[in-house]
Amino acid sequence: FEILAVSIDALGADAVRKFVDRFGLTFPILLDPRGSIKKLYRTTGVPETFIVDRQGRLLQKVIGARKWDAPAIVEYLRQAVRS
């Protein structure tokens, strides 16, 4: 699987780069200051997570923060990766 982040920050790439450096992020960050991705996925909150399968189908939309290392969530993600 792959993790992609989308920044809707209008401050630009430099601000995002500082955030990435500060938190040691290692996955790609897409810049979307015009909100194109936000409109496409009908985003309503921040953070918002989309679980998308290999065929590009949306499996689940999660609004708000989650404890992604919780056992139930880890098992769900394992199943999603296998499908």
**pLDDT, averaged across the chain:** 90
pLDDT in tens, 8-59: 888 889 999 999 999 999 999 999 989 898 898 888 888 999 998 888 888 9
> Do the Cβ atoms of 7 and 16 come closer than 8 Å?
yes
Task: Match 């404890």 to its residue by tokens.
Answer: 67
Q: Is the peptide bond before 47 cis (omega within 30 degrees of 0)?
A: yes
Residues 71/79/64/23 CA torsion (nearest 10 deg): 70
pLDDT in tens, 54-72: 888 889 999 999 999 999 9
Task: Choose between 38 and 83: higher pLDDT.
Answer: 38
Task: Match 């996925």 to its residue by tokens.
Answer: 41
Q: What pLDDT does 2 receive?
A: 85
For the chain, the structural domain boundaries read: 1-43, 44-83
Residue 1 has pLDDT above 80, yes or no: no
* Model-wide pTM > 0.85: no
Reading the block at residue 21, the tokens are 């450096």
